[in-house]
Chain A
Amino acid sequence: MDWSVISGTEKRLMLNAVGVADMASLFAVVPEALRVNALDMPEGMSECCLSSYFEGLARRNCAGCVSFLGGGYYDHYIPAAVDALAGRSEFFTAYTPYQPECSQGTLQAIYEYQSMICRITDMECANASLYDGGTATFESAIMAARITGKSRVVVHDSLHPVWREMLLTHASGSALTIEDGNEPVAGDTACVIAQNPAFPGTLQDFSELARRCHDVGALLVLAVNPVSLGLVKTPGAMGADIAVAEGQSVGLPLAFGGPYLGILATRKAHIRKMPGRIAAATTDAAGRRGFVLTLQAREQHIRREKALSNICSNQALCALRALIHLCLLGKEGLRETARACHAKAEYLKAKLDFAEVLNAGPTFNEFSVRLPGNAEAVTAAMLEKKYLAGLPLQAVNRGGPNDLLIAVTEKRTRVELDAFAAALRECAA
């Protein structure tokens, strides 16, 4: 099955119009010896077969467990209107808004998304999206180096281990020096990158760290969880210079790792050093408000090897989902969602008296415990009871064999929490 539409007779007519005898003439420029005869791939399928084949594959994934698995990616409820609206093909079959007059829907949505990100983070400007939290972290490091003219990037131990690894890979060819540490080094530090809540769940006030960074001419990059900002002190209020986040928790399904949403916001003074697309308001000749892409001269399609970043395709549709999600929750909804995550996590934490809580300070929606038994074995046993009991921290090199990271979202009910605590007590013994 394919979706080409030219029929046999039309093909003849069109070849005549082109002035060639046959299809082969159109490909004459491709040397005969380099053409492929047969591809080793399964034969095509009808739509009906395709549908049942993929339904079968989907059934082989168990997505029906009660989940306490997080690690930066959470099982939040997504209102039906998010799918309904972001599923409008006027949005998802459009391209990058290079012709603003026929892309006002996209451009206004990006502008509103940027505004929304500023409002939840207390920052002054945001870009139209990056790929995910990890790549946003990398871009923030490059950006900080560009702003400060310095090259040392200090990775705080609160940062997500996977993002830290991504940062190392992405920056391996750059002039950045990346090292672990919790304080800026006077002289050549471009930024410290910290995360709140920390990967293991602990909340901190990073205001003092921000001050210490600024004292030595470095920036503070703060990675955050957008849902937490309904309740938790913002990067803007803490004095961070760049805020980054993984936007999955606001309107994106877990989807086995993507597509997700890289959020990046900063102070207005740094806007020209911020990578990625930016939408801005302006007017037409008749004075009507409209939106355009702006500061494009910083981008790769114009600036080429001198561009701020190579990013072209971004995650615009994911940004739209996040925007719609946050509009539906609204002021009260985001606050209540954050409160529910926190209260339920606290409720569960108190129930797990057989395990040692490892967080030294307050936590938001996720906390680390040391179980009496091996975490990997416990999660395997819990899986038999249809629970995803959490992330064994050893799997990401962030803890001992008995350490487990447990996440709680607003979706979990008291009944589920009670049953989970009892089951975990049994399996962990």
Chain B
Amino acid sequence: MKTIFEMGAPGRHAVMPAPLDVPAASLPDAVKRDTPLALPELSELDVVRHFTQLSRRNFGVDSHYYPLGSCTMKYNPKIMEAIGALPGFTRLHPFTAMTDAYRKICQGALEVVCEMERLLAEVSGMTAACLQPMAGAHGELTGALLIAAYHKAQNGVLRDTLLIPDSAHGTNPASAVMAGFKTVTIPSNAQGVVDFDAYAALMGEHVAGVMLTCPNTHGLFEPRVADMALLAHENGALMYYDGANLNAIVGRCRPGDLGFDVMHFNLHKTFATPHGMGGPGSGAIAVGERLVPFLPNPRVVKDGGTYTLQDSAQSIGRIAPFFGNFLVALRAYAYLRAVGAEGLKTVSENAVLNANYVLARLRDVWRPAYDGLCMHECVLSAATFASKHGIRALDVAKALLDRGFHAPTVYFPLTVKEGLMIEPTETESRETLDAFCDAMLDIARLAETDADVLHQAPRTMPVGRLNEAQAAKNLDCACTG
């Protein structure tokens, strides 16, 4: 397919501004553009057809089952899109909130921010929340900065280390380092959960906090999470909850009650907002009592019947220009208001049931990385197929594409060899799960009888396997004309 820069013709245009109704003005040469403006020249139909064609070269949740582990690709209800498109929200300038004169015209939007933050605090068992962080990793960085600010205010010993399990998302150590911390890895034990003795040995006065995902990326609930929190607190360290896997427990138990002091939500995962090909998401955070004074400025508060802004002198400062990815939070708020407390419980129940159903159907053929039940996702391994038949997780992923399914997450977590991480989510039906499991079993049979066919997958996509090494070496990453 052509790129948009290989299309069009000189002089063609789609949407032009109205003819100028004021005198033309000119700029001094020194500040004027003196290089060609090499934009394409296209008709509206050229553009519409091009991007419609592009869209057809994509799998999305609306068109395909997307069991991508750790990403919670649940269905995004259409009503939330309608709410997110209401002009009363989309056309509102954010600076209306920042001056007293304008604040009365954004009360509806401020209510969304304030009430959403209240709901998030309730759902997480925390004291307060903040919508500013614009993605999960951004929430982690904010949380790590809060932990640093808290310890600094204690005037105690220098705490420069965060403990992070080996099964954690890569964002955890990356965020910790950005916030100025050293990271030390906690090993997993043979059961796929934190090795508690190793953890206890790593704990000490230099530890500022512990970043934990629960259930972890092996799809397992950390059985000693409360003990971990107790030990951390005894040593003056804080507990950070990575909310990536909150879908497993939402409505049933709360990070605050488990002993966590700060967490981020991935609103785009747990609360059903679309993932948008990689974003925008929202990494709203929630904190317990002692971190509240350090939350980013400004905070939205209700003063009598009016929503207004408030700064805290101890705040870490500003994390977003305004209130984070507001339209994402708005959709998530609408979702929470739609499902209510009972609905949330059903969400985690069905998410866990669906994952265990897939695990039960596949476990005899595709060996799970760890024994027993799982939570909202299961991690299988293609390692025996790789050594016996040369069929690796990557081959399985590509073969699934040909069968009309998006692939599971592969090669993650790094602790599992040839990992296939499957997260069905609660919005998929039993028929879909069965069809997916049938495909997985079919691939396993083929691996034994006709492995070559699998190496050639995918064959039904717009392109076959692409040469990634060539891409990295040649680095053609812009058509600059």
Contacts and interface: CB of A to CB of B under 8 A. Distances in A.
A279 B477 contact: yes
B277 A106 contact: yes
Contacts of B458: 101-102
Given A132-B321, A334-B37, A301 B169 contact: yes
B319 A169 contact: yes
A269 to B, nearest CB: 11
A233 B336 CA distance: 47
B198 interface: no
B206 to A, nearest CB: 16
B14 A60 contact: no
A318 interface: yes
Contact of B373 (A17, A20, A55, A162): A20
Contact of A1 (B47, B97, B343, B475): B343
B84 to A, nearest CB: 9
30 contacts: A4-B346, A6-B353, A18-B357, A39-B123, A41-B119, A54-B86, A79-B14, A85-B55, A94-B58, A95-B406, A100-B463, A112-B479, A114-B478, A170-B319, A172-B145, A172-B148, A205-B30, A258-B326, A259-B327, A277-B278, A280-B477, A281-B477, A303-B174, A314-B278, A327-B14, A331-B39, A331-B41, A334-B39, A343-B23, A414-B22
Interface in B114-145: 119, 122-123, 125, 134-138, 140-141, 144-145
Interface residues of B, number: 207
Given A85-B47, A173-B180, A302-B170, A96 B272 contact: no
Contact of A44 (B23, B281, B339, B472): B339
Contacts of A99: 59, 397-398, 401, 406-407
B90 interface: yes
B327 to A, nearest CB: 5
A22 to B, nearest CB: 11
A65 B318 CA distance: 28
A292 interface: yes
B347 A317 contact: no
B449 interface: no
Given A118-B478, A343-B23, A79 B15 contact: yes
> Most chain-A CB neighbours within 10 Å: which of B1, B88, B181, B276?
B276
B71 interface: yes
Interface string B56-93: 11111111101010010111110101110111111111
Interface string A14-45: 11011110010111011100111011111111
A311 interface: yes
B280 A91 contact: no
Contacts of B145: 169, 172-173
Contacts of B180: 172-175
Given A91-B55, A100-B466, A332-B16, A174 B178 contact: yes
A185 interface: no
> Most chain-A CB neighbours within 10 Å: which of B37, B283, B352?
B37
Interface stretch (B251-259, B380-388, B439-447): B251-259
A145 interface: no
CB-based closest 7 A-B pairs: A257-B322, A58-B88, A173-B180, A44-B340, A60-B108, A317-B276, A169-B317
Given A106-B58, A300-B174, A305-B176, A96 B33 contact: no
Contacts of A63: 87-92
A255 B326 contact: yes
Contacts of B16: 329, 332-333, 336
A173 B35 contact: no
B76 A93 contact: yes
Interface in B250-306: 251-254, 257-258, 266, 268, 272, 274-281, 283, 296
A112 B462 contact: no
B257 A34 contact: yes
A294 to B, nearest CB: 5
Contacts of B95: 69, 71, 73, 391, 395
A392 to B, nearest CB: 6
B398 A101 contact: yes
Given A258-B325, A317-B279, A4 B426 contact: yes
B245 interface: no
A320 interface: yes
A413 B20 CA distance: 9
A268 B368 CA distance: 44
B105 interface: yes
Interface string A278-292: 111111111011111
A45 B321 CA distance: 32
A247 B391 CA distance: 44
Interface in B100-122: 100-102, 105-109, 111-112, 119, 122
B477 A111 contact: yes
A222 to B, nearest CB: 13
A256 B463 CA distance: 40
Contact of B478 (A101, A124, A346): A124
A323 B478 CA distance: 13
Given A232-B31, A316-B279, A256 B97 contact: yes
Contact of A313 (B279, B326, B471): B279
A57 interface: yes
